Structure formats: C-alpha cells, structure tokens
Structure 1
Amino acid sequence: MKHVIIGTAGHVDHGKTVLIKALTGVDTDRLKEEKERGISIELGFAYLKLASGQTAGIIDVPGHERFIKNMLAGVGGIDIVLLVIAADEGVMPQTREHMDIIQLLNIERGIVVITKKDLVDKEWLDMVTEDIQDFVKGTVLEKAPLVKVSAVNGEGMEELLQTINQIAADIKARQSAGPPRMPVDRVFTVTGFGTVATGTLLDGQIKTGDSLQIYPAGGVYRVRNLQVHGRKVDIAEAGQRVAINLSGLEACELKRGQVLAAPGSLQPNHRLDVKLRFLSSAPKPLKHRTRVRVYLGTAEILARVILLDREELEPGTEAYVQLQLEEPVATARGDHLVIRSYSPMRTIGGGLVIDPTAGKHKRYRKDTIDALATAEKGTPTELLEQYLAATARLCTQSDLTTGAGLAADTVTSALQDLLTRERIVKLIYEGEIYYLSAPVMNRWEDKIKQTLAEYHQSFPLREGYPKEELRSRLFPTLNNKQFQMVLIHLKQTGGIELHANSVALQGFTPEPDNIQRTGIKRLEEIYLANPFQPPNWSDAAREAGISKDDQEILNYLLARGTIVKVADGLFFHHQALTEAVELVKDHLARRGELLLGEVRDLLHTSRKYTLPLLEYLDNKKITRRVGDKRVAGRALSIDKAANN
C-alpha cells in the first residue's frame, strides 16, 4: 500500500504550525517554550485524512535559523513539501535556506503555500506572488502549484486540500521488500510501556515481535508494540510515520540521529563516497579537508571533505568527494545529505551517497573518479559488479543487497547476469553461498599459485603448504570455511590439489634431489641392518650424511610411510615393522596369546624396543592387552590399521 509523508518548510513565524492545525486540528507545538515564544523549536507531528481514504503523516519543522538542524532531522523522508511563505513578508533568509535544502534533498513534489493573505491587500498579494514565482524559477518547485490561504479565516484551505490530494495520488509506493530502516527523530518514555522511538520508515516493513538493531553501534531489541497515526498496528510499512515501543531498552540508550534497522543489514562506516553539489550561494570556495557539518537522515556529524581530484571546489559546481566522518554513520546508497559550514553555520551544499561503506582513496586517481561515476549512474548489474570488485571479499546475497543499496530482486537478477557472463564466481560449501568478483578470484589464484611455487622450491620434500598457515598469511580476513570454499573452487578449475591439512600446486609430487636420494638409500640400509633395534634418528642421519636436512627428510619418509613413528624418538623401517607384525600374528595363531618377554625373544631385541612396539600394536589393534598378556586384535595388518 502507498503511504505519504508531508513536511513543511519556510521562514520562522510564517504560519507553518497554524497552517497544519487548520488542516488537521492538531497543534504540533508541544513544548512549553514553544507555546511561550510562539515559534516551533522541535519537530511537530500530525496526520491528515486524504480524499483517497489514506492517512498522510505530517512533519512540521522549525523555521528559525537556530533550529535548522532540527528542521533537517525532519525533512529527509518526506514525499510532499509545503513551502510556506507569509504574504506580509515574502521570501526571507530561512525561506532561501530551506529551499536550498529542498533542492539538495531532491524533494521534487511540493506546493508553494502563501499564508496570511488576510493581512494584506490584493495589490500587495499580487506583488508578493510575482516575487515568489521568480524565486522558485529554476528550482525543483518551479512547476509546483501555488496556493494562497488564510489559516485564520479558512480562505483557500479547501483548494489546498484538493491540491494535496491530487499530488498524493501520483506518488509511487516505497519499496517494502527489503530490510526495514528507520532514522530516529524522537525518543521518549511512556509509563507502563517503556521506551518509544519515532521516525519515518524509509524501507521495508516492521512487525510486532521483530528484532531491530540500533546503528551505528548498539544492541538488538524486540518490537513490543507499533503505532501508526496514533493507532496500534501489527505491521508498519515503508513511507509511514511509525512509533516503535522497544522491549528492554532504556531511553538513554537511543537518541535522535541513530537508525533502527534489521540486525546486520547496515555497515556503519567512517567514510562516505558522495556526489557533492556546492551551492552557488556559498561565500567562498570549498578547500580540501575543510571541516563541515553533515546532516544525514536525522543525524548531525562532523566531517572533513576530501576532494579527490582538485584542491578546492568553486561555488555552483559539483564533484565526487569523500566525507571523512568523525564518528561512524549507518546509511545506504542513494541517500541524500546536506552540508553546512562548521562556523558560522549555513547551508553550503549537499549530495548523494554513492558508497556508504567506502574505503580510503588515493587522490588524483582517474580510475577512482571513473568508478564513482559508474556507481552513480550505472545499471544495477554494473553497480553490483563494481561493488564486488571494490570490496574484494566473499559476499552473501544479503551482503550485496545492503552494501550495493539495491533491492533484493534486483540483486538476484544482476547476479544471474554476471554469472552468465562469468564476471563473478559462485562458491557453495556446506549449504552456504557466497559470491566473488571473477577478476578478484583470478588475482587470488595467481597469489596462491605463486606462494605455493615458492614454497615447493624451498621445501621440495613437503606434501604442500599448511592450510591454516596459508590462510593466515594471505587471507587473514577469511574464516576457515570461506577459505576452504576458495580452495575447492581452485581445485575444481584445475589449479591446485588439496590434502587433509595442506595445499599444493596441481601435479606437484615431493621429490628428493640426487644427493638426498643417496642419503635416503643409506638411511634405509642403516635401519634395516638391525631392524628390531633401530638407531636414534639423529645418529642415523649423521651416519647417512644428511644431518643438514634431517628433519625435512624424516617428515618426507614419514609421509611416504617408509619410516614409521612407533613412539617418541623411536622409528622403525616399514619393512621391519611389517615383518614384526607377521611374526607376532604367527605366534598368536599358534599359541593364542603372548607375553612381552616372548616378543622380545621372538624379535631378538630388548625390552627398550619391545614395550613401545607392543603398545603401538595395541593402539593399531593388531594386538589387544589382557592383563600381562596380548591376544589378537581386529586389524589384519599395519597398512589396514592405518586406514581405520
């Protein structure tokens, strides 16, 4: 269903609040100070029943220059703006600043409302009307209807209502399919219920019982109750003014400027890539690293403007810039923002968020500017491809929906297109699906292969590079499961081979050189010379002339099964171990049992070797200990035992 938000704009004391009361019957000035001073300080809220039967939310904003930041907190989500100009004063300073803000936020639908017509004569009214028409020329409200009213005697109010109804009928419904997102503009406590937050729901739906996260940094809380236009509802939809009662949340834990959204749906960041429009009314050029005030959603954040392709920006021009924020912000691609000078405070520009999770850029890089241009104007497929290439990480479809600022169904379609054109790769493992830019995957493959080639050259006797060591060295941001996905993909494309705990280039086989082969041959002779009383490894390596590479060769022989570790520091040649097993099995077949001393005599060795050998055979289930004796175990041979 379509929902409409109407907001006011205009100079202080031009009759915005009185106009809203005449339209709705609600006095939006709720604070004692507002009553005493006769001006709006904070945002006011009301609702209006339209001819279509729908109810429109209304936001009444302050007009005083001192409260511009409060005004900016209210106008971000409006569909129709009522630019209010008093007939007795005409266009005033805050009228101009509010118009600049309307332009910068790209609020295209509006009505110019001339109020207090009862205070002036016809000649004056005609003159003010002509002046206002000149004022709106060249703005988004150039073709907006102009209605003259008196909220006091009701003159023109019916025409204004009809005009609102006509414009509201043409407004398209907002996207309700994605995750919900609501910038908070007011927080208060209701006795018996607890903390309530209000705002305009920009995207998605919120249901009673849903969980919402506070951004940029906060906990996750359950929605206890929802209200829209003062009525309790079970579902709130995009485009509605919503009051959310959150369970277990203290009012001090939430404030204006924060965002309530689906858990994990936003990525707070200290940098935003922005297409910035610098107003022609700005008093001087905007220099690189100028400190400014950024108004985004309902938040006010201090930031530095990083000019990417120049040293200063002239008034009346546009450029791609990066905002370096002094605190993180959670926003989405396509959001509009306003910039005011740090001091004195005045509106100097605004822009469109191109990348809400931007990384730091090097300045004066043409490829950076080209990428930002694509991100601003490209097709969804181009945007998604660029986002995956820029992030250079594995992304779920949910990550892409949030990060690229696209609707879920749009992401689905774009992914299929990119897969068909082989611009991305799809990785599936244990029920999880990730996507990665194909050029990024190619770079990763080259990096892995080069690292493996260097490793094989340095350690030619090793089966491969240890997996965890390879992951932590090259891809520390990937978890074990994600790294395994990458390795499986590379194995399927024929680039590498995977072992239980290591990775190798396809076709690689550990091979000793000629000198090592000679040493290995001599080692085997040494171990087989006295097979059941094998030498200490270090002594054997020294005698064979391989003490320099002894650990590498030992691991190589262990991996091949030529040498078998029976106990710490005790190694048997595989041939000797196989012979010992056959002798033990033959004895058991004849006698049914054997003692340690019998094995010692059978092998013509000593207790030093017999006891660890029997414990090894017990462990491999060749034998089974019963008291002081051994009986036959389940395994038939050492080789089969190793596979169990």
Structure 2
Amino acid sequence: MDYIIVGTAGHVDHGKTVLVKALTGVDTDRLKEEKERGISIELGFAPLTLPSGRQLGLVDVPGHERFIRQMLAGVGGMDLVMLVVAADEGVMPQTREHLAIIDLLQIKQGIIVLTKIDLVDAEWLELVREEVRQAVQGTVLADAPIIPVSALTGEGIPELLARLDALAATTPPRPAKGGARLPIDRVFSITGFGTVVTGTLWSGTIRVGDDLEVQPEGIKTKVRNLQVHGKNVKEALAGQRVAVNLAGIEKEAISRGSSLLTPGFLRPTYRLDASFKLLAGARTLANRSRIRFYLGTAEVLGRIILLDRNELKGGEKAFVQLLMEEPVVATRADRFILRSYSPMETIGGGLVIDPAPPRHRRFEPSVLASLKKRLEGSPQEILAQIVREHRDGVDGQEAAIRAALTPQETRKLLQDMAAAGQLTLLAADNDLYAVSNERLAAWWREAARALDDFHRQYPLRPGLAREELRSRYFSRLPARVFQALLERWSREGRIQLTASNVALADFKPEFSPRQRELLQALAERYRSARWQPPGFNEVTAAYNLAPAELEELLHYLMREGVLVKINDEFYWHREAFEEALAVVKKLGLAGPFGLAEVRDALGSSRKYVLPFLEYLDRIKLTRRQGDRRMVIAN
C-alpha cells in the first residue's frame, strides 16, 4: 500500500508528539496554546517515508480528556495505530478510553509504544509491559507488538520504524475506486487563494478541476488546488492527507464535521440503522437516551432507539436506530462512536447497517430479521433485501448508496440477479430501476384490474389515459420508470399503447346494433346541420339518450375525426369546421375581422359563430383584439 495513515493514541503527556517528532522531525504542536501548555489540543500531521520507501501520514491526536472530540476526529481516518503509554506512568484513564475507541472502530493494525524508557529501570519497564498486555486483552490490539522507545536518546526508534514498515506492507488499501470522500477536520482561508479544507481521503480520487460538493450543507464547489503534505499535486489518492483549495465557497459556510464528496456519492441523513455495542463498564442505557454521535470528523447530538429491548446493559449488543438532531453523512459499514450526553463519556460504538432507513416499529420481528440479514449478508443478499424493502422499487444510485457499493458494482450485481430471475430491472434514462418480482406481479394485477374496469365502464373508448393510470395507481413511480413499465408490458403483449392511452391487449371497442345506428345518425345530423349544429340537450331529447351515453358516442366520433368539440354545448362536423376555418383564414388575409363578417360569410348566426371563434382563440389560431380578431397561425 503506497499511502496509509498512522495515528497516535494515548493519555495526555505520554510523549505522543515528541515521538512523532523523533520519527519525522516535525513538531506537530503548531498552536501557541499548545506550545505554552505542552499538550496537543488540535490534530497534528507529519509525513514519514519508511525505509522501504512507503509513504505514511502520521496523525498526532490530543490525549487530554477535554479534547476527546478532536481525538475522535483524527482516529476515524487511521489505517494503523500506535497506542502510546509512558513507561514512567503506565496505563492511565485516557489510555483505556482511547483503547476502547480503537477497539470499537476495529483498527486492527497497531503497535503499542512504551515511551520515556530512559526514565525507568528494566524491572519497572517489565511491570509496565505486563500491565499494558493485560489492558489490551480482548481488544483488537491483544496481539500487537510492544516496542519500548526513548524519543530523547533514540533507543528503539529503528525497531519501531521497521515494525511500522512491516505492518504497512500488510495494511489493506483504501478504495481508490468509487466516489471521493474526505471528512473535513480543518477549514481555513489563505489570502489570494480562498477557502482550504484538510482531511484524510477515505476513498476515491480528487483531481484539480474536479466538481465536488460539501455535505450536509449541499454546497457545490470546484477543486482549485491540491496539496499533500505541503506539496502541490494534480491528484490526491485514497489514504493520503490532503489540503484542498475550494473555489466559490466561503470559509464560514463549512466546518469540521462536513464531508467533501463526489456529487451524488452520499446523501445527508437524520436516521441510521446500526449494530451497537455498549462498553462493559458503561451504565445501563435506556431506550431514547440522548447521545453524542461521532463518525469521521462529525459530532452530532441525537437519540438512540433500541429496537428489540427497553434497556441495554454493559457489554451487550443490539440493533438500534439513531435519530440525529442534525444531518450526517454516512454509508453502510461505517464505524461510529457514541458518548453519553452528560457526563461526556465514551459508552460504545457500532457499525452502520443502513444510512437511509425508514422509521421502524420496535419489537418487529421482520425488521430485526432484515437488519440481521443486512448486517451479515453478501452484497447480492443486501441488494435483494434493499429491493424488497422498497415497496415501489429503487433506482441504481439509491441502491448503491444504501449497499455501500460503487454504481458500477451495483449495476453488475443487479443485472446478474435479474438474469437469475431474482428481481426485475426496468431501464429508465440510462439508469436501472430494480423491483421485486412480487411487486411487479402486484403492479400488473392492479393495472389489469383498473384497465378492465375502465373498458367495462367506457366500452367505446380506446383506453385509459396514460397520465390518469399513473396518477391514480402509480403516482409514487417516477415518470421515466412508469414509461419503462408500460413498454415492458407492451413488449410482453399484455397491453396496447398509443401516444396517450393504455388498453388491455385483447380489447376492442364493441358496438351494439343500436349504437351503430346512433353513430351513423349522429354523424349525418351534424353533417347536414353544417354551421348551425344541434345543442347537446337537443340531441339527448331527439334520440332519447342519457347524457353520459350521448357523451360516449360523441367522444367516439371525435376520436374518429368525424366531429370537433367546440364547447360542452356544440359539436361541429369536421367538414363544416374545415370549411369555416378556410373562410376565417381568407378573411384574415385582409387584416383583422369581426364576428359579423364570419357570420355573413357562413350564413349562420352569432349563437353558433361566437363559440366557434372562441374555440379558435383557445387553440391559438386566432387572437382577439377588442371586438375584432386576427389570424396568428396557418
């Protein structure tokens, strides 16, 4: 691995900063207050080139209990940890808290460094070594090597470098593929350059000129310049400590805890499903307890919902839902730390299972079974669960975010699962939309029933309007997905599709002998009436028809191009309408014209001509100017 981050952890004044300086030559205490007090308050960083040539970034975290927030901001980005214990003091309170945090975050690659060995004799050193070994039992550092060193004399430093080199060689790389994710730990501005943010690049790649976004603020920005350990670079890789000069963004708009991301890679959330472990020594935790949540560089207040019990005892694990008071950026498999609201003590930590879940009903067996499967399942099983849980399907991007997979990985897995018949994919605007086979079958039953009901009620109509079908039965589906669904059913021979209507595949308008006679009679009556057509009520009386029955017959003649509906009262025969339209266009060649001129040219009356002209206005063939009109389209 070319780039890894190594962090220090341990009690205040146990020599972490001096150790970093002995390894790198860099004094990471950069603040005046740190110099005056002799302790680290903020995170410090220094580059280190190992004997093999591997590049390390050393993170020096504060050891004082008052600065545990700063420590947590640094430890989340570590690939490898050095737990520092001063030989003259041994294991202290912050040693244990930092060790608990390391264990909860599962930073499995580590070294225990006994510092200040120049201040103790061999017998005392051995006692401290044994105390440390007992303290780390049962944690991720249980088998970590213990290296005694003296930053003052240099004793043990070569061995420590060799151990770091060996561990670095076996440390798994951070994912360079996928979206960029940089939790921000510092924000400042430089005259002439603008806003700069720093952090450890958790995943992906950042290049000069990239369009990025800051979340949860939702601010779009562009990379103006990049530095890695003070050197300008064109590209920063996952695992590197990076300073990013951002364009078009004010320093005050963002802060530590925000994340710099590839647009659309992750979304802010107020709710997380997780597996949580309460530390053995912690007090019993009640449902809905207020907590402090730490992930990456973020600290947010919230409440913990215990999904399968009313209280959690020390050392126990449980499925929980975390409700945040402010949005956070998270993804599946992120590890987090919880501290109590008051007093501020580390109480436990866990693993994110779902970064965007719905609210759950407590003690619900199906919810708990789903969380267990999502926690332990393969990527395919997790995707299958996500698709099942989305009642109306899920698009590829949402599935990728919830499963913590790249869009490419998600697409490939979904395609494989669809080919195996495990789910159904609908292609929509170059994206994939996944739906469970059960839900697809339910959609068809619903659509088929709706279309059958419509055909029974309106046997002369060609089908139900597409938009009416969507708004009444599929309003939750994006329009592009609904279109893909209709096209699928059309290919399968289940439905007929026209530009605006949907009908069952075997549907044909059916006419009774009486209806056929009425259609012929109505067409002839309107044709012969020309520009003085009968009114709607006049026709119902003449043929002894109910209004609804007449409307269906007239609408059929409209769809066949026989009639034109002028308004709710009058329909004109198409021949009469075209002839009248030609008259209007001819009059319009000479300029604006009035109603009387059209009336006289047609030999009709105001009763019929005025609705005709108002119809032309509505369809924008004419425009009214006072009591006259002009033709605006040919």
Question: What's the TM-score, normalizing by structure 1?
Answer: 0.86
Deviation at 1:82, TM superposition (A): 0.5
Structure 2 counterpart of 1:332, one-letter code:
T
Query: For residue 185 of structure 1, what is the aligned residue in structure 2?
Result: 185
- Decide whether the 8 Å contact of 2:427 with 2:481 is kept in 1: no
Deviation at 1:340, TM superposition (A): 0.7
Structure 2 counterpart of 1:324, one-letter code:
L
Query: For residue 375 of structure 1, what is the aligned residue in structure 2?
Result: 374
Q: Secondary structure of 2:485's partner?
A: helix
Deviation at 1:476, TM superposition (A): 3.6
Counterparts of 2:352 and 2:612 in 1: how far apart (Å)?
72
Query: For residue 289 of structure 1, what is the aligned residue in structure 2?
Result: 288
Query: For residue 328 of structure 1, what is the aligned residue in structure 2?
Result: 327
Structure 2 counterpart of 1:239, one-letter code:
G
Deviation at 1:409, TM superposition (A): 4.7
Structure 1 counterpart of 2:505, one-letter code:
Q
Structure 2 counterpart of 1:118, one-letter code:
D
CA distance change for structure 1 residues 561 and 112 in 2, over 3 Å: closer, same or farther? same
Deviation at 1:495, TM superposition (A): 3.1
Query: For residue 215 of structure 1, what is the aligned residue in structure 2?
Result: 215
Structure 1 counterpart of 2:37, one-letter code:
R
Give per-residue Cα distances to partners, 1:66-107, cap 9 Å, x unaligned.
111111011111111000111121111111111110011010
Spell out the pairing of 1:254-293 with structure 2 (5 A cutoff). 254-284=254-284, 286-293=285-292
Structure 2 counterpart of 1:247, one-letter code:
A
Q: Does 1:314 align with 2:313?
A: yes
Structure 1 counterpart of 2:72, one-letter code:
L
Counterparts of 2:219 and 2:107 in 1: how far apart (Å)?
33
Spell out the pairing of 1:40-55 with structure 2 (5 A cutoff). 40-55=40-55
Query: For residue 436 of structure 2, what is the aligned residue in structure 1?
Result: 437
Counterparts of 1:548 and 1:534 in 2: how far apart (Å)?
17
- Decide whether the 8 Å contact of 1:2 with 1:174 is kept in 2: no
Counterparts of 1:225 and 1:530 in 2: how far apart (Å)?
79
- Decide whether the 8 Å contact of 2:536 with 2:568 is kept in 1: no
Query: For residue 245 of structure 2, what is the aligned residue in structure 1?
Result: 245
Counterparts of 2:429 and 2:422 in 1: how far apart (Å)?
24
Counterparts of 1:202 and 1:572 in 2: how far apart (Å)?
71
Query: For residue 36 of structure 1, what is the aligned residue in structure 2?
Result: 36
Structure 2 counterpart of 1:218, one-letter code:
G
Query: For residue 171 of structure 1, what is the aligned residue in structure 2?
Result: 171
Q: Does 1:102 align with 2:93?
A: no
Counterparts of 1:318 and 1:457 in 2: how far apart (Å)?
58
Structure 2 counterpart of 1:551, one-letter code:
E
Query: For residue 91 of structure 2, what is the aligned residue in structure 1?
Result: 91
Query: For residue 341 of structure 2, what is the aligned residue in structure 1?
Result: 342
Counterparts of 2:322 and 2:174 in 1: how far apart (Å)?
28
Query: For residue 481 of structure 1, what is the aligned residue in structure 2?
Result: 480
Deviation at 1:565, TM superposition (A): 3.7
Q: Secondary structure of 1:4's partner?
A: strand
Query: For residue 135 of structure 1, what is the aligned residue in structure 2?
Result: 135
Deviation at 1:514, TM superposition (A): 8.8
- Decide whether the 8 Å contact of 1:277 with 1:317 is kept in 2: yes
Q: Does 1:79 align with 2:79?
A: yes
Deviation at 1:377, TM superposition (A): 1.5
Unaligned runs of 5+ in 2: 584-597, 618-634
CA distance change for structure 1 residues 570 and 305 in 2, over 3 Å: closer, same or farther? same
- Decide whether the 8 Å contact of 1:40 with 1:61 is kept in 2: yes
Give per-residue Cα distances to partners, 1:200-220, cap 9 Å, x unaligned.
111110011001100112221
Deviation at 1:65, TM superposition (A): 1.1
Structure 2 counterpart of 1:371, one-letter code:
S
Give per-residue Cα distances to partners, 1:416-435, cap 9 Å, x unaligned.
32121122333335655444
Query: For residue 451 of structure 1, what is the aligned residue in structure 2?
Result: 450
Unaligned runs of 5+ in 1: 585-598, 620-644
CA distance change for structure 1 residues 519 and 222 in 2, over 3 Å: closer, same or farther? same
- Decide whether the 8 Å contact of 1:423 with 1:439 is kept in 2: no
Query: For residue 360 of structure 1, what is the aligned residue in structure 2?
Result: 359
Q: Secondary structure of 2:3's partner?
A: coil
Question: What's the TM-score, normalizing by structure 2?
Answer: 0.87
Q: Secondary structure of 2:236's partner?
A: strand
Give per-residue Cα distances to partners, 1:441-495, cap 9 Å, x unaligned.
3333333333334444454444333322333343444443332122212222333
Query: For residue 301 of structure 1, what is the aligned residue in structure 2?
Result: 300
Query: For residue 418 of structure 2, what is the aligned residue in structure 1?
Result: 419
- Decide whether the 8 Å contact of 1:532 with 1:609 is kept in 2: no
- Cα RMSD (Å): 3.3
Deviation at 1:561, TM superposition (A): 4.2
- Deviation larger for 35-44 or 386-395: 386-395
Query: For residue 468 of structure 1, what is the aligned residue in structure 2?
Result: 467
Deviation at 1:144, TM superposition (A): 0.4
Query: For residue 9 of structure 1, what is the aligned residue in structure 2?
Result: 9
Aligned residues: 602
CA distance change for structure 1 residues 439 and 525 in 2, over 3 Å: closer, same or farther? same
- Deviation larger for 111-120 or 517-526: 517-526
Deviation at 1:407, TM superposition (A): 3.5
Q: Secondary structure of 2:318's partner?
A: strand
Deviation at 1:139, TM superposition (A): 0.8
Query: For residue 120 of structure 1, what is the aligned residue in structure 2?
Result: 120
Deviation at 1:523, TM superposition (A): 4.6
Counterparts of 1:18 and 1:372 in 2: how far apart (Å)?
45
- Decide whether the 8 Å contact of 1:257 with 1:298 is kept in 2: yes
CA distance change for structure 1 residues 614 and 308 in 2, over 3 Å: closer, same or farther? closer
Counterparts of 1:614 and 1:118 in 2: how far apart (Å)?
105
- Decide whether the 8 Å contact of 2:271 with 2:356 is kept in 1: yes
